[in-house]
Structures are given as C-alpha cells and as structure tokens.
Homo-oligomer: A and B are copies of this chain.
Amino acid sequence: MTKRLKLGMVGGGQGAFIGAVHRLCARMDDKYEFVAGCLSSTPEKAAASAEEIGLDPLRSYPDFKTMADKESKRDDGIDVVSIVTPNHMHAEPVIEFLNRDIHVICDKPMTSTLEDAYRIVESASKSKAHFFLTHNYSGYPVVREMRSLIKNGELGALRIVKGSYLQGWLGSKEEDTGLNKQAEWRTDPKRSGVAGAVGDIGSHTMHLIEFITGEKLLSVAADLTTFVDGRKLEDDASVLLRMTNNIKGNLSISQIATCEENNFKISIYGDKGALHWSQENPNYAMFNKLGQANQIVSRGGFILYDGSLSSTRVPPGHPEGYLEAFAQIYSDAADVIMNKPNKLELLDILPNVKDGLHIMKFINACVDSSNSNSNWTNLSTE
C-alpha cells in the first residue's frame, strides 16, 4: 500500500492565497496527508483557519515552535512542513524544523534578507532533512524538456537569454485599499525585503533562466522604478545580465504592466537553435533549429530527451496548468523523501537551499546596481 507523507503547514490561514495552493498541490498526486498546522501568527485566527479546512484541532498549533516541538515527539508526527508565511517569517520556522530533521518545503524567495539566507544554508547543512523551495515554474513538463534539450546540446553554445515577467495587479495603490493582504506585505520592505517586483517575480524569472540553461548569473546592471506614488518598493525593473560562458541577456520585470495577468516568458538563443516558452499557454514551447523548420514541443507529445522528470497526468491536448506544475514540485519532493529510484535525478533539478541563496544575491545585486546609477554589479561571491 502507498504510504502518504504526513504534512504540516506554517502560514496559509484565512485570507492567504498561496497556502491553499500548496495544500491543493500536495493533495493532487495523493502522496501527502495534511495533518497539522500553525496557520496564522494570531492563535485565534490559526484555530479558526484550521477548523475551516477540517484540521484536527489537537494538531492546530498557536505558534510554530510549539508545533515543531509537539510534532517531533509524536509517533505519527509530520514528515514534512510547508512554510508559506511572508518572506520575513521564513527563516525562523525553517530553521526550527530543519533542526528537528523535519523536511521543509518553503515558499520563495527563500528569505527577506541575505543574512537569513545564510542562516538557512548553515542550518540545512547540519540537518538530515531536505529543504525544497517552490520555484514552481520549474515543475512545468515543457520547461523541463527545454532544460533537457539544452543539456543535450541542441542549441549549441548559448548566446542570449531573455526573460520577461509582466503583471498589472499593482498598477495603482492596492496596498492602501485595506482589501489586499498580498499587496500589503509584498510592498512592505519589512516583510518582503529590499525589493518588490524583483523579489516576488524577478526571482522566479532568474531562477527559471538558470534552471533551463544550467548557467549562472554573474553580474547585473539594473534600473528599478517605483511608478506608483508613495509605494515603498520598486514595481518595475529592467535588468541587463551577464552570465557564465559569456552569455548575455536582459529581464523585464513589472507589476504595473497594465492589463497583464501573469505574462511570464523565456527565450534562450544558442548558435545552433533557440527555445521559447510562455507561461500563459504552458503546454507548448517553440524549438527552432538552424536549417530546419521551426518545431513545437508539446507536453506529453513527441519528445526527444525527457527521462523520468515529469509526470504526465493526462495525455497531450488535455492541457495541464499552473497547479499541476506546482504539484510536480510536491510530488518530486515526496519521491526524494521516500527514496524513489529517480531520487538523485530529482535532487539535481529540485530548487534547493543553494538556489535560494543565489537568488537572494541576485535580488540584492539588482537593488545595489539600481542605487548606484545602474552600474554593473557582481553577485556576492561570499
């Protein structure tokens, strides 16, 4: 019989968005059983949230320390915990659970400060537990196929990368309406960290470019702008990139790109071919080879290299979406924890603590560059 991993959650109470997504995605492939939580930093709200989703009240905790303590002592205590609080409240619970060797699945970006990021790195190095970061876009099967194509040399030597992640939801001062908790904490430097759009969606963009290409960012020249009057963090950024192996490129990141929904696109050019992917129709990628007709990669369709890296829940033509890609991270994390045969292969692609630190350096370099008149700024090599 299939064993389901016992899952807990910190954050994700009433009014939150991403917590419910994490729970749905954990359910999707039936590898987790959700059994414990500290769903809010306010104990009453934590209890109400727990009741609403049918959590056993005995395993709804008023704070994450109590939860870590009690769960680690139960025979049937949680195997894994999801951390879905705002950025500034990632590090403490992450470290608390890692110290007890409970596996952690943490929302991105890893922390609100570089200091916290280093603390998690250190804690993870001492823990027997795994740490996974939900850079969920790397769970899309077609994105993984793009990574395989490049790894197998289909594009030749890479030359240019382009990423754009454009949203419009912060086009006016949403954070002052009193109706949008997301907008409030994401535009608040105390909770988000030094960056706004760059931290929230720029982090996904840069991670995905590195995930697909296998190359690393070295230096940025960034122009961050706050278009909405009185906002405390930038809501738009243009960034020039220099990467390993002389790859160049640029990023367009915005949360004030009027009428954009979640327009996240990646293009990679090598001297022998190119790949293009758009998140809003994610079941396809364009695969262009020099001297051939352009080709369409279809999820689950004709595929050149994909190994055991992506589940196909439904056949091609039956579109999968955002939730399936997000669930893939949960599914893969479960396979790693349960020592499935493709564990090593999965560990190679699942976003981990090093990715988390690296992306924190990217965020900080963007802010530093923009603060120094867009000077080229190297990522910290500390």
Please give the residue numbers on chain A whose beta carbons come within 8 Å of chain B beta carbons, in ascending order: 1-4, 21, 23-24, 27-30, 51-54, 155, 159-160, 162, 164, 167-169, 171-172, 221, 223, 225, 227, 236, 238, 240, 242, 248-250, 252, 254, 256-263, 269-274, 279-283, 287-298, 301-302, 313-324, 373-376
Residues on B with C-beta less than 8 A from A262 are: 315-318
Query: Considering only CB atoms, which chain B residue lies closest to A169 in the complex?
Result: B315
Chain B residues with CB under 8 Å of A164's CB are 162
Min CB distance, A201 to chain B, in Å? 11
What is the bound-complex CA distance between A225 and B375, given in angstroms? 17
- Name A320's contact: one of B274, B313, B322 (CB within 8 Å): B322
Give me 24 A-to-B residue pairs in the complex whose CB atoms sit less than 8 angstroms apart, sorted by A's number.
A3-B54, A24-B313, A160-B254, A162-B252, A167-B317, A171-B290, A221-B223, A221-B374, A256-B271, A258-B271, A261-B316, A262-B318, A279-B319, A291-B302, A293-B298, A293-B302, A294-B296, A294-B298, A296-B296, A314-B322, A318-B322, A319-B319, A319-B321, A375-B375
Assess A248 versus B273: contact at CB under 8 Å? Given A257-B160, A316-B261: no
Chain A, interface SS category: loop
**Is A323 in contact with B322, judged by CB distance below 8 angstroms?**
no
User: B236 near A260 (CB under 8 angstroms)?
Assistant: no
A248 / chain B contacts, CB cutoff of 8 Å: 223, 225, 236, 238
Bound complex: CA A321 to CA B309 (Å): 20
Q: Which residues of B contact A257 (CB under 8 A)?
A: 160, 269, 274
How distant is A173 from chain B, measured CB to nearest CB, in Å?
11
Q: A282 vs B291: C-alpha distance in the bound complex, in angstroms?
A: 22
Provide the residues of chain B in CB contact with A28, threshold 8 Å: 24, 27-28
Known A317-B280, A322-B314; contact A290-B2, beta-carbon cutoff 8 A: no
Distance in Å from the Cβ of A1 to the closest Cβ of chain B?
A: 5
A172 to chain B, nearest CB (A): 8
Residues of B within 8 A of A314 (CB): 21, 321-323
* Min distance, Cβ A361 to any Cβ of chain B, angstroms: 20
Contact call A236/B292, Cβ cutoff below 8 A: no
CB–CB A293/B282 < 8 A:
no
Q: Give every chain B residue within 8 A of A320 (Cβ-Cβ).
A: 321-323
Q: How far is the CA of A4 from the CA of B54 in the complex (A)?
A: 9
| Residue of chain B at shortest CB distance from A288 | B259
